[in-house]
């Protein structure tokens, strides 16, 4: 991957790690907690196996982006790593889950995306800032959903 733009956000959700992991890694829940995800579905494989492929439509900076991504790293209740397959912008994304031992879970979202080129390179900083705001809002939404279901 060429030079990358990193987005990283962390949140603590006051629910057990197994419950948080199950919810956030289930494709059926993607459009519920992630406001920028218009559609997210399994294309092949199982949501808990390396190599599974998903198709998604996301709204980023007002534009709809269609992509497929595959699981490249999976450790139950600990980590899921995804990588773009068919996308206008290459990226890797991972969610890391850590239990605090008292029933809460620290979730770290990290995404590295390819930097733009040509005339549109100037927009990278703006798009990244908007995307980071979406990611933060999505994590806060997941926190609210999970904590209110207890």
- Structural domain boundaries in the chain: 4-148
Yes or no: domain 4-148 corresponds to CATH 3.30.530.20: yes
Q: How far is residue 150's CA from residue 137's CA, in Å, rounded to a whole number?
A: 21
Give residue 150's pLDDT: 61
| Spatial CA neighbour of 95 closest among 145, 148, 23, 5 | 23
Phi and psi at residue 18, to the nearest 5°: -60, -40
CB atoms within 10 A of CB 10: 13
Q: Which residues contact 23 (CB under 8 A, 6 or more apart)?
A: 29, 33, 142, 145, 146
Confidence of residue 124 (pLDDT cuts 50, 70, 90): low
Q: What is the mean pLDDT of residues 20-32?
A: 95
Give residue 97's pLDDT: 98
CB atoms within 10 A of CB 47: 15
């Amino acid at each position: 991957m060429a030079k990358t733009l990193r987005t990283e956000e962390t949140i603590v959700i006051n629910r057990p790690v197994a419950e948080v992991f199950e919810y956030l890694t289930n494709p059926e829940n993607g459009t519920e907690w992630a406001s920028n995800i218009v559609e997210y579905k399994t294309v092949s494989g199982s949501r808990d196996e390396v190599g599974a492929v998903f198709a998604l439509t996301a709204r980023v900076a007002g534009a709809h982006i269609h992509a497929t991504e595959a699981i490249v790293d999976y450790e139950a209740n600990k980590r899921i790593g995804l990588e773009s397959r068919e996308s206008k912008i290459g990226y890797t994304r991972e969610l890391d889950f850590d239990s605090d031992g008292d029933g809460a879970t620290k979730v770290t979202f990290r995404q590295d995306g390819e930097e733009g080129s040509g005339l549109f390179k100037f927009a990278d900083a703006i798009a990244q800032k908007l995307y980071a705001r979406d990611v933060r809002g999505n994590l806060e939404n997941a926190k609210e959903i999970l904590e209110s279901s207890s």
